[in-house]
Amino acid sequence: MTPETARLVRLGDYRRHSKTTYFERAELLQLLRLYSRKVASGEWRDYAIDHREGVALFSVFRHSHESPLYTIVKHGPEFAVFRGRQRIGAAKSLSDLLDIFRTKPSLVRA
């Protein structure tokens, strides 16, 4: 690469002008924390992160060769969860959306 063709670009400037949507660090931490709990319980085994124009996707799988069990989508400032093509939840914040995956206590009878 010659000095005439080299061009320094700050990542922050590039992302501001890019139309691609990304998960922020705090959002990734929340997603990976949930993923870790589900892996420990044996429910999930693999994940994938995808970025497209205007959308960021976090998909989780039971087996890596199957379709995703769930896909968490960030579209602008909003989040949604899909199971296949069915939208099962939406929220303005990721933490509110992830409440869908929290296990609720159930009554156990003796």
Report whether pLDDT(92) > 80: yes
Confidence (pTM)? 0.77
DSSP letters, 24-93, are -HHHHHHHHHHHHHHHHTTS--EEEEEEEBTEEEEEEESSTTS--SEEEEEETTEEEEEETTEEEEEESS
Are 73 and 56 contacting, i.e. CB atoms less than 8 angstroms apart? yes
Which residue matches tokens 């892996």? 39
Backbone phi, then psi, for 55, in 5-degree steps?
-140, 140
The pLDDT assigned to 20 comes to: 78
Q: What is the pLDDT at residue 52? A: 85
The pLDDT, as a whole number, for residue 106 is 66
Distance CA 72, CA 83 (A): 9
- Confidence (pLDDT) at 17: 64
Give 11 or 3, the one with higher predicted confidence.
11
State yes or no: pLDDT of 3 exceeds 70: no
The CA radius of gyration of the chain, in Å to the nearest whole number, is 18
pLDDT in tens, 15-70: 666 677 889 999 999 999 999 999 999 999 999 999 888 899 999 999 878 899 99
Tell me which of 55 and 108 has the higher pLDDT: 55
